[in-house]
Structure 1
């Protein structure tokens, strides 16, 4: 351990060494003080940068939240639009299916009716042939038609679907001629 000097026992060399040591300590203290001031300045600069980065992060988070909210709203609207379209097309499909079923039912009824009436078709054709034969006989001058004017013409007009002429011109009428 070093000895402790008093004012009466200290020598010039010891005093110089003591001053040199104190000066060295003060310089070391000044160095540490300068370093502390640099660190404090760096801390202030870093704190400012950190606050700026936090503010930017919060701003980006708000923008991101806004984009997310907008996207959710657009997706919600698009989903509703697609759902409405799907429901509309589902209704159309249901209507078309019911119309198809109804048409099948009507076709079955008509087919059954045609099948039921098919034998009558031949009977109708035979009856028409008989009527045409009678009209031919009337036109050829059958004796039982002597007092009936233009009976054959009226029968043929009825068969062909053309209305008979109601005039009194007889053979001279342009509408009554064959």
Structure 2
């Protein structure tokens, strides 16, 4: 800003801003506003260009990394496998690819949710299966114990039958000898 308090100037003279009329001030203000708006627009455009500036580099990296053959253009006679012409601008093809990829990501998210639910259900069923196997093992042990007890009872029953038969034979012999 100008120093209007300079003592080397004529004290009777007015400052430069005093010389401007109201109309002139309005015009200067409008011009400054237009310049500011243009600078803001350019700054936004530059920021937008910087924001998307990484895209060609990323795509070039994909092309090199995936070994995508170069695009065949009219009059191209170089040998080797080439991509067929798309028939649409590359920007439109890329936008379609992005939309398709976005849709696939959304579907994959849905499928991963379904897989998560199925895994949870599978985990629940595995826990239930483990509990049932433990119960089955306990029941098998009980069945073995019962088989052993039945075997022991059958042995005891056989012994009792033998004793009863001997007793009956003795009673029969006693009865016969008493006659």
**TM-score of the superposition, structure 2-length normalised?**
0.45
Q: Which has the larger radius of gyration?
A: 1
**TM-score of the superposition, structure 1-length normalised?**
0.45
Whose helix fraction is larger, Structure 1's or Structure 2's? 1
Highest RCO, 1 vs 2 (Cα 8 Å, sep ≥ 6) = 1
